[in-house]
Amino acid sequence: MKEIRVGLLGLGTVGSGVVKIITDHQDRLAHQIGCPVKVTKILVQNVDKERDVAITPSLLTSDVYEIINSEEIDIVIEVMGGVESARQYILTALQNGKHVVTANKDLMALYGTELLSVAKDNQCDLFYEASVAGGIPILRSIVDGLSSDRITKMMGIVNGTTNFILTKMSNEGKAYEDVLKEAQELGFAEANPTSDVEGLDAARKMTILATLGFSTNVELSDVKVKGITSITEEDLAYSRDLGYTMKLIGLAKRDGEKLEVSVEPTLLPNKHPLAAVQNEFNAVYVYGEAVGETMFYGPGAGSLPTATAVVSDLVAVMKNMRLGVTGNSAVSPQYPKVLKEDSEVLAKYFLRLHVKDEVGVFAKITSLFSEYGASFERIIQMPLEEKGAAEIVIVTHRATLANYQVLLQKLEEQDAVKCVKASYRIEGDAK
């Protein structure tokens, strides 16, 4: 094989990083795979646009079929984003016998099973390391490094935008809206940040992690999702007083053969390694029966970190091509999917209530908690400026999600309770 020829779909932030790494690391890439690698065609919307990266004009095209139908191209790298168009282009490329590398988490969360099946049918590789946690090699670590172990839990910060926002809110006491605006100005948040702040981006990544880590077909609709938009400075202040740090946590947990997958604001003990992950950084904590606890930490986004993961996948494909073992990367799920019922999900909870400041109120609340199997671990009661009102902050012992949800509803219905101000899951024990 004289050279391996690559077609690139997209020349934005990540695509430009991919071109830079392939260009700058050409000697190392050729040494690893035994022949040169060359980007021969790049799909862009406007071939005449001025760009930050130096590109020979003849490499650019606005016609995707010049790449995915070309007999001159061996590997297609998709970094254009979107779902439906990307799906069709990748399907066509695979059916034409081209290997594919993608950074598209939305696509893989929704259509990963289908695309991997088509890749296998056509003896093609399809790799997607960059779709989760940017430059952190978490997928390869799960598939290869921990392949001999049985993973029981994956818990992590997999969205840099929300971690940046929560870090600023916690450390500087700023309001959510102010920090969001700052994140947008710095380029950490999109003009429309819904996917990030409502937890959808993290949910797509947890779908991919759970599918690989538990070798079962987890779908996006299986993930319970809650975003960060309702978090207040008061929530964070009470969290700190109790020894916790607030993070948007993606959790995938297996007990026996039953799974739970969720994304929600979660209180972590300050001593937990994930509590120390600041700003736009990502980290994933993996628990294995044999290896115990491991943590993967690094930049979760950005041009070169994400491009590094893309090019690492490219190297893996090229090595497989040289060895003649392509098309074996997709392993069918080993286990049937069995999701936990809410009555099987156990957790501790943080709860803020505004109540009437009168005799008998606390007894009524205590009675409700007892009725629904949620006992108190810690309680703080504070007066409010509003006359005749008080605030109660409660940390529960472990309770089932089913009982806790009914308890919240019953508290809302109580005359003595003015409102439930906040409720969050807790992972771990604060000291």
Residues with catalytic function: 205
Residues in the chain, overall count:
431
Beta bridge partners of 283: 157, 297
- Beta partners for 102? 78
Q: Which residues contact 208 (CB under 8 A, 6 or more apart)?
A: 105, 108, 109, 112, 128, 131, 132, 139
Write out 20-75 in H/E/C secondary structure. HHHHHCHHHHHHHHCCCEEEEEEECCCCCCCCCCCCCHHHEECCCHHHHCCCCCCE
Q: Note the Cα 48 to chain centre separation in Å.
A: 35
Reading the block at residue 168, the tokens are 């600023």
CB atoms within 10 A of CB 343: 10
- Cβ atoms within 10 Å of 26's Cβ, excluding its own: 13
Distance CA 88, CA 94 (A): 10
Q: DSSP readout, 133-188?
A: STT--HHHIIIIITTTS-EEEEEEE--HHHHHHHHHHHHH---HHHHHHHHHHHTS
DSSP class of residue 384 equals -
Q: Rounded CA gap, 327 and 97, in Å?
A: 10
